[in-house]
Structure formats: C-alpha cells, structure tokens
Amino acid sequence: MAEVSLTCKRTVISTKPVQPGKFCPLSALDRLMERNYLHIVFYYQSTVERNPGELTKKLREAVAEMLSAFPIITGRLFKTPEGHWTIKCNDAGMRMVEARAKGSVEKWLQNLDREKELQLVHWEEMFHKPYFWSTFYVKVTEFEEGGIAIGLSCTHLLSDPPCATMLIKAWADMTLGGKMITPPLFHPLPGRRPGNTNTNHEPYVELIDYYKLSIEKPAPVFNTKQVTIILAFDDEMVRRCITRIAPVESSRTPFEALAALFWVVVSKVKGTKGGLTNMSICLDMRNVLGLDRGFFGNCMVYNKVNGDGIEGNELCKAANGIKEVVRKMDADGIMDLIEWLKERNYQDLPWMNGYDLICVNLEAVDSYSAIFEDNARPLRVSYYIEPAVGEGQILIMPPPAGSRNTFSRVVTITLPEDEVNKLLEDALIQEFSPTILMGLNKMHSSTSS
Amino acid sequence: MPEMLPKFSTSVKLKYVKLGYQYLVNHIVTFLIIPIMAAVSIKILKLGPEEILTIWNSVHFDIVQILCSSFLVIFIATVYFMSKPRSIYLVDYACYKPPIMCRVPFSTFMEHSRLNLKDNPKSVEFQMRILERSGLGEETSLPPEIHCIPPNPTMEAARNEAEIVIFSAIDSLMQKTRIKPKDIDILIVNCSLFSPTPSLSAMVVNKYKLRSNIKSFNLSGMGCSAGLISIDLARDVLQVHPNSNALIVSTEIITPNYYQGSERAMLLPNCLFRMGGAAILLSNKRGDRNRAKYKLVHVVRTHKGGDDKAYKCVYEQEDPQGKVGINLSKDLMIIAGEALKSNITTIGPLVLPASEQLLFLFTLIGRKIFNPKWKPYIPDFKQAFEHFCIHAGGRAVIDELQRNLQLSAEHVEASRMTLHRFGNTSSSSLWYELNYIEAKGRMKKGDRIWQIAFGSGFKCNSAIWKCNRRIKTPTDGPWQDCIDRYPVHIPEIVKL
C-alpha cells in the first residue's frame, strides 16, 4: 500500500503586498454555500528527471507569484456589521502542505478509493475564529518513483468547482510560462440587464421555492458511509445513449443523456416507488449570465427536477424532465433567484448538497488544460463536493485526453456502498460498457479499452 | 504676535553669532597667518631691492650646515611616512536581497504566532503590540523554514540559509569589484548566533576555493555590533600585511534562533530580527586608491561589559520550558544611552571641529568651577558628519539616538527606512543604510559618514568613513526596485 508522509506545512505569501483596507464582499450565491467545501486532485506524470523536492520548490515559487493576482485567497473571513461574510484582504497568505508518497503515480491510480484519494488533500474545518483560518489549502505530494499529485481544498463560500479549476490553471500557467492566460476578475454578480425587463415576466417561482425549502430544512441525518466510484463513457457509448433517449441526436446533450440514465438507474437501486427519486441538478450559470471566464466566485445554481410518475425504464421522459428544467434556468430566472436571495437576507445556513440526489454538470470545466510542465497534461482530475451527506452525487465531467468536441464523459458517482454495488451490476449501465477508472477496492478494475 | 518676533529675531541673531564663531575658531590658523604674512611682506617691500641683496649675502651658508639640515629634514620626513598607518579603503560592498517569496506580512506573522502559541494568548497579544509599534513594513523577510507551522529549524536548514545569504552577497560583490577569489588575502566572517563546525569562513573558503595561505577569521557571539568589530580587525590585520585586501562578510542567520517558547521578554527578537547579509571588500593597495568608494578614517570601540547590568542586558538563556532564546532586559535603552555617551566622548575629539571642542571645554570648565547647574553642552555632530547610519536595532534605538544627538528626520531617514524595508538585519543593517543613501543620490565626494552599532556585551562601536570619489546612483542592490517608494511615512502604531 502506498503511503503518504507529511514533509511540512507552511504559509505561502503573495509576491506583491496587498494595499491595506481592501475588502472582497461575497455574493448571495456565495453565502449559501458556507457548509460545503471542495476537494480536487490533479495527477501528473514526471516528464523530467528531478531531485526530490525540486519540483515542489518550483511550484511553491509559482504559487507565490500567482497569489499576487488573487488577494481574495490570501485574505481572511470577516463578518460585516450586517452579519454577512466578506473577505478582508489582509495579505495573510495560503496554507500549503508538502508530502511524499511511496510508489509511482501510475500505480497509485490503479488501486484507488475515496479514502486513499483524500489523503492527497489537506483540509481544516473552519476555526471558531475564522480570522486566522486559511480558506484554501494546497497539498503537493511527490511520488518517489515518479509523478506528482496536486490537491486543492477550499471552502465553497468562495469558489465552486469551475472557479477552483481556474485557480489551478492560473497556477499552471504561471509555472510553465510565467504569466496567467486568464487573469481573474473580482466583481459582484451582474444585475438584471436594463433593456431586457419584460413587464409581463413572471418570477421563476419553482427555483425560488426550491431554495426557500432548502434554507428552511433542518439539518440532514448523517447515516450511511458513502463510497465513490468513477466511470468513463466513451464517445460512441454516449451517442448511443443520446439516441436511446431521443430520435434526433442533436436535441439532447451528453449531460442530459447521462443525467437521465443515472437518475433512472439510481432510482432503481434505491428502490424508489411512485416515480423517480428526488434529484436536483446543479448547473454552471457563467455562460447564461454572460460572465467572463475569469470570474471568481460561486456561479452554480441548483434546481429540482420532477420525477413523479415516471416509471423505471422511461429514459425519454426523464431526459425531457431534465431538459425542461435546464431550459427554464435562463438569465431572467437566475436573476429572480438572486434578487430574492438579496431581499430575504436570511441568516440560516442551508445544506445545499444535503438531501436529494445531486447531479452536477461540470462538462465545461477545463481541468485538462492545467499544464505545469511541457507536454504533461493531467493524467486524471478528481472532484469531491463535501460533505457527502445527501442521497448521493453524480458529477459529469469532461474526458481526460484530446479534443473537446467529443461526447465522451467521465462520471463520478457517490452513493452508499450497497447501492454502488447494485449500480455496477445494473443492465442499463452495462449496456453502455463504461470503463471503471476507480472502483470499489474489493473489485478488480476491468480494463476494457 | 509681537512676542514671537523678538524670539525669532534673537534666534536669527544667535545663529549668525554662532556661524561667525565657528568660522573664526575653525580657521584660526588661517586668520593668524594672514596678518603675519601681510606684515612681513609689507616690511620686505619697504626695504627695497639693494638692502634685500645685502641681507642675502650676509647670511653665511656652510656646506656642512646645508647637508646636515637637509638630512635632518629627509630623516624626519621618512620617519613620518613610515610610521603613518596605512590608509584603508573600502573598494565596494554588496548587500543581500532576500527573495520576495520570503516576505512576512504582519497578518501572517500574527497568524503563525496564534497557531504556534495556541495556549498563550497573552504572549500573542504582546507580540502584536510590539509588531504594531515596531516600525517594520510588510516586506521584511524570514527564511523559508520559519514559514512552516510549526517552524522547523534543523541544522541543515540553517546551513542552507547561510549559504544562500553569504554566497549571494559575495557573488554580487565579486561582480562589482571584478576581484578573483585567488586575490583575497584576508577573510573575516561574523555571524553572532550560528557557529557550526567547520566555521562559516571555512564554508566560504570551500565554496570559492580561496588560497591555502589565506588569513581567515570567524567571529561569533559578538552581537549586532560585530560588523564594525570585523572592520576594526581587518584594519589591524591590513596594517601588518602590505598590499593586501580583506573580504568581510556580516550576517545573522535566523533559522536556528527563532524562539519557540512563550516568555515575553524572549519573544521580542522574533518580532524584529530578519534575514539579511552584506559583503565588504577592504584594501590597502595603492592601486585601489582611485576606485575605492570610501576611506576608513576612524574606528572607535566601547565595551561596557565591566558593568554587570550592561553585561546581562542582552542575554541568551533557556526559559522555564527549556527553550533557548535571547532575553532583552527592560533597561536596554538606558544602557544603550550610557554606551553611546562613552563612545561619543572618545569620538568627539577625533572628529569635531575646533569650535565645538572649545565650546565643550568651556562648558565643562564652567560646570566644574563656576556653576554645576549649567547644562552640559552636547556637541553638534551634524557639523562633523554629513550622513549618519544608526544601527536599525528597533524604533526605540533610532528615536533615542535622534534625540540624544539632536538629529533631524532626514539624518535618520536611512535608518528608519532600512528598518521598515528589511527589519533588523543585525550587523549588516549599517550597509543597507549606506546603500539607501547612495541610492537616493545623496552621497557626494568628501562626505563624512558615521556608522554607529550597538550589540550584546554591551558594546557601542563607531566607524567613520569619508567618501573617496563621486558615486553614481547604483542601478543594482537591494533598494533598486523600491527606492522610489521611499521615504514612507511610518505611523506610530499600525492597526493590525
């Protein structure tokens, strides 16, 4: 068993001092996510022969340069007089942990599970006095026989998965070429565009109600331990899935197809009666709101999809239901939500991932372009949205190698252990012959290329 | 209003009186000779040319007399030139610039303090108060190992820091002076708190492959004033060895000395001491006379260790938990003041113009004989020096000296700004300050500089330099990228 041993934990400071008195307020969407945190792991092979610790030192220098453009990360949480979180940019720095692991990165990837993977990230729960608590943690693990893993943990208050990926990409650009291709932008969420107000416009009540309900729900019960598996669906299989759910291929996206597929299968393994299991989808609203790629902050919105009355194998109806909700989540709808959140000025903290099955669309996240050294794309990128306390999570992510126009996808599934077993044996899943990138440790990984 | 006018007019009158007095006393010889020469020339002119010739012929010159008097003159001249001490020149110097990644903003320092001293909130509070009033800025640097939580001061890390700081400074100096390692005759390294075996000077000899007959010295344990002690030692060794040069490295290695306990008096150095180092090249060669930047005029060393309180005021010891740190006593400023007074008493006669010395003598006599209540006259050192480099030991030290020597804000600007940008870098801080003055373009040929350093023991050492040539504003050096931002206003208390 490969083992990870800690070398040291330090604070990395930005190379440019921050002018005192700067604050970065958090948006309404940010503040909802206080209970959640992210773990992301990037794996790389070694391209060049290096001394132990040499690459870590290079990464450390690059991260210090990069942090000069991200004063929000080196700042600390601070409560305004109104009781809202804001970031006081006090230049305190970001925590970085350095570690070493036995074996090589390829060997590690072959024999992986959730617990092992989480050894490659470092996380500390929010302190009682968060003014001394770093919001971001980076862990760099060098594998003795070659390869490196970069783990990022951060609070969901400041960043969602696309935003955290942008951070790693900025770090990679800085290490490789000394400058960032997409510098970050810090500004509040856009307001409603003035010319576009439709006087007959009805507020998007369902979305607002969904959030209202989430905020008012009591804390979820943490019962069963959940495990995570990762499945890869190649281009042909995804197209087949799309054809299955709709005769005209172009009218359905891979996300809708896979989301519908898993909705149906997970409902089956959970044994839900009278329809499909409660599911919420989580979509990245950056394009919808017209935000620049460099926007820093939360911009993912959840919404419920209605599964009542849909029978076990009715993939088409499931996909239709998802498509309908995706269509309705347009700019106006999101604006309604944001305005309602601002007005309501709630103090309770919802558990946004804490109840239903969540299906997150991370297709547009550009993780595989985070290249630190020449010719070394990440071998794999894993995402975890914590804490995993709801019915389950499905994350739909882009494929590892090559072009972006392919329909192949990687899906991370987090469910209670017995449900995962049943899912892997399900006929519908088997029909699309996924490759198991990370399975349950007891099962051997099937390598169907 | 009418009351102010008389005061103003009397002070102006006083100023002119003082100026007149100074000119008179300082140039007394000129003032005496001119009338005498005038009288003699008038007498001669009155005589007329034939009478001059007669007087000339009547003086009987004997060959023996001429020979003896010329031999006497030549003999006296030779004795004079042989016994004159060799002139020591400072060819150039280089200061280490820490990488910007090593900087420690206040917020990070306080955060680490809170995380490492979780169980001692009072100690953390104390450190915060010190930091707020310290006069340091947000760009001072600590070595990489001290950025760890908890700090990890291994011997290897200390050696690494020593290598980075010392070799950087020496490389920079070699580039500036175009000197080759084989040409270095004397090597002196001073680092007070880190003294491994083999010594740091052996480390330098090893890295640069210096000659096997090099005269190397390693001074440790001598505190923040060790830089000037090294200069003094180099000067003495250069008296004995003609046609030689000496490489001096002054630094302080922070890694092994970061106090990890919670005693308040011992936490103070953590707040003030920062990474830094300097390398200096001294020479007594004739060829360096024109290219050297400064000439060493005097070095005055004062040691108050004979007094028990002075001896114990900066004391390295173990705290009740067994952690080693440096204990600074509360009487530090008073003892520093006494040491300074001693040092000034020795320096005064060497550098002050005659006018100031006379005034001091009169007041002294007056106090002894007429009225002991007369205020002691503090000589005006601003007349003896154009620039002051006061060791940036802490804001209190600079304030105290500014008050005692009646210096203006511009005189102490170099010290305050060095404290702000680099912190207390111990023995090398004087060189950062000198570099500041050069970087600001204030150094002119003929300017006199007074470097004052205080250190454990308790010692107060001074070095006096004279600028030897026109100095171009340096384009490299530790102040290169930030000199335009300085001087900054440093508030009394920085709100953290």
Q: Could you say which of B112, B120, B313, B387 is catalytic?
A: B387
Query: For B211-228, what is each residue's pLDDT tens digit?
Result: 999 999 999 999 999 999
Query: For B1-55, what is each residue's pLDDT tens digit?
Result: 455 555 555 667 777 888 888 888 888 888 889 989 999 888 888 877 777 777 7
Kindly write down the DSSP assignment for every residue of A137-150, as one continuous string.
Answer: EEEEEEETTS-EEE
Q: Provide the pLDDT confidence category of residue B139 given band limits of 50, 70 and 90.
A: very high
Decide if B108 touches A, using CB distance below 8 A: yes
User: Across chain B, what does the average pLDDT equal?
Assistant: 90
CB contact under 8 A, A10 and B147: yes
Q: Which of B105, B115, B152 sits opposite A13 (nearest CB)?
A: B105
CA distances from A158 to A135, A248, A386, B201, B238 (A): 8, 40, 14, 51, 64
Strands B324-328 and B245-252 turn out to be unpaired
* CA distance linking residue B366 with residue B376, whole number of Å: 10
Residue A1 is inside which H or E element, if any?
Answer: none
At B256, the amino acid letter reads P
CA distances from A251 to A290, A315, A320, B246 (A): 23, 15, 11, 82
Strands A380-386 and A37-44 turn out to be antiparallel
Query: A354 pLDDT exceeds 90?
Result: no
CB contact under 8 A, B148 and A10: yes
User: Å from B161 to nearest chain A CA?
Assistant: 15
* CA distance linking residue A444 with residue B12, whole number of Å: 98
CB contact under 8 A, B111 and A132: yes
Q: Indicate if B424 belongs to the active site.
A: yes
Q: Could you say which of B257, B327, B343, B424 is catalytic?
A: B424
* CA distance linking residue B451 with residue B465, whole number of Å: 8
Mutate to test the interface with A, among B147, B481, B485 (most CBs of A within 10 A): B147
3-state SS of B251-271 is EECCHHHCCCCCCHHHHHHHH
Determine the pLDDT at residue A198: 56
Q: Is A445 exposed, middle or buried (0-12, 13-18, 19+ CB in 10 A)?
A: middle
A44 beta partners: A148
Q: Is B324 exposed, middle or buried (0-12, 13-18, 19+ CB in 10 A)?
A: middle
Q: Which of B138, B139, B149 sits opposite A11 (nearest CB)?
A: B149
* Nearest residue of A to residue B142, measured between CA atoms: A13
Who contacts B39 (Cβ-Cβ below 8 Å, separation ≥6)?
none
Q: How many CB atoms lie within 10 A of CB B232?
A: 17
CB pairs A-B closer than 8 Å: 53
Token duo for residue A160: 């969602």
A397 beta partners: A410
Look at A243-257, A381-395, A416-430, B108-122 and tell me which has the smallest mean pLDDT.
Answer: A243-257
Determine the pLDDT at residue B245: 94
Decide if A61 touches B, using CB distance below 8 A: yes
Mutate to test the interface with A, among B106, B109, B110, B111 (most CBs of A within 10 A): B111
Residues from chain B contacting residue A76 (CB–CB below 8 Å): 107
CB contact under 8 A, B108 and A76: no
Determine the pLDDT at residue A402: 64
* CA distance linking residue A137 with residue A386, whole number of Å: 15
Residue A301 is inside which H or E element, if any?
Answer: strand A300-305
* CA distance linking residue B127 with residue B267, whole number of Å: 7
CB B447 within 8 A of CB B387: yes
Alpha helices of A70-113 — where are they, by DSSP H? 71-74, 105-110
Decide if B112 touches A, using CB distance below 8 A: yes
Average pLDDT over residues B420-428: 95
Residues from chain B contacting residue A60 (CB–CB below 8 Å): 101
Determine the pLDDT at residue B200: 96
Angle, CA of B191, B194 and B197, to the nearest 5°:
105
* CA distance linking residue B176 with residue B95, whole number of Å: 12
Q: Provide the pLDDT confidence category of residue A211 given band limits of 50, 70 and 90.
A: confident
Query: A277 pLDDT exceeds 60?
Result: yes
Q: Indicate if B411 belongs to the active site.
A: no
CA distances from B444 to B50, B386, B447, B471 (A): 52, 9, 6, 7
Decide if A11 touches B, using CB distance below 8 A: yes
Q: Which of B101, B105, B148 sits opposite A91 (nearest CB)?
A: B105
Asked if the ipTM is above 0.85, the reply is yes
For helices B429-439 and B226-240, the axis angle rounded to 10 degrees is: 90
User: Å from B141 to nearest chain A CA?
Assistant: 11
Q: Which of B110, B114, B149 sits opposite A10 (nearest CB)?
A: B149
* CA distance linking residue B366 with residue B374, whole number of Å: 8
Decide if B100 touches A, using CB distance below 8 A: yes
Look at A372-376, B45-49, B490-494 and tell me which has the smallest mean pLDDT.
Answer: B45-49
Q: How many CB atoms lie within 10 A of CB B442?
A: 16
Decide if A76 touches B, using CB distance below 8 A: yes
Decide if B482 touches A, using CB distance below 8 A: no
Determine the pLDDT at residue A443: 43
Strands A380-386 and A409-416 turn out to be unpaired
**Ramachandran class of B446: left when φ > 0, alpha when ψ lies in -120 to 50, beta otherwise:** left
Q: Provide the pLDDT confidence category of residue A383 given band limits of 50, 70 and 90.
A: very high
Residues from chain A contacting residue B103 (CB–CB below 8 Å): 13, 15, 17
CB B238 within 8 A of CB B386: no
